[in-house]
Amino acid sequence: MVGSAVQDYLKSIYKLKDSDGLTSPSSVAERLEVSAAAVSKMMKRLTDLNLVQTGQNHRIGLTPAGEKIALEVIRHHRLLELYLTEALGYTWDQVDHEAEKLEHVISEEFEDRIDELLGFPTHDPHGDPIPSRNGDIEPPHQLALGALEPGQFATVRRVSDADPAMLRYLGQMGLYPRTAVQMLQKEPFGGPLTVRVADTERAIGRELAAHVFVSRDEAPREVAA
């Protein structure tokens, strides 16, 4: 089993990859807050382990073996996030940090018990898909809230968990996964959006709205319990 540092690199490459399955070493360095030299050293190690391969323009991607490990770590992380919220009462802005510490140390048996206890969930508290035991994962929703046109209805499916303060603010606005929303108005020249969240009108900046992902609905719907 590879160590936690290797797992962190593989998970980051997986999350940062573009449609071609590749990302840049500089993006990995920024995400992990390490130097370019540290990334270069680790990439050599991961290449020797047949976990990473180099593509065009020195971009990097995972081999099948590397992706398998990345998805296993992501599965641990997202199951832990849900367990922390459902069983231990953590809020959705607190779980990422805790899960980061625990994801490397839980056993497969512990993972299976959490999975069963939670009813074999498919998504974490932020709406990100949980990989299956055999590494299958559904594509995440990519339609940003700001892409809706006035009058359109939608359901929140996923919220970026990159910033705990942002999550707290979005939670205060009620923008949790499975919440019904409607775009009411879009101010011109990059102005704010007015959105009905459940039964309440909210103003939200476009930059913030870019972190909320939805699926369109043909008609208004009730908020899921």
Q: Are residues 82 and 129 in the same domain?
A: yes
Domain count, the chain: 3
Q: Are residues 117 and 161 in the same domain?
A: no
- Mark which of 99, 121, 137 sits at the end of a domain: 137
Q: Are residues 94 and 110 in the same domain?
A: yes
Domain that holds residue 18: 4-62
- Mark which of 137, 161, 184 sits at the end of a domain: 137
pLDDT for 214? 97
pLDDT tens string, the chain, 225 residues long: the values are: 689 999 999 999 999 999 899 999 999 999 999 999 999 999 999 999 999 999 888 899 999 999 999 999 999 999 999 999 999 999 999 999 999 999 999 999 999 999 999 999 999 999 999 999 999 999 888 899 999 999 999 999 999 998 999 999 999 999 999 999 999 999 999 899 999 998 899 999 999 999 999 999 987 765 443
Answer whether residue 25 is part of any domain. Answer: yes
DSSP per-residue codes, 83-111: HHHHTT---TTTHHHHHHHHTTT--HHHH
Assign residue 179 the CATH number of its domain. 2.30.30.90
Q: Are residues 124 and 155 in the same domain?
A: no
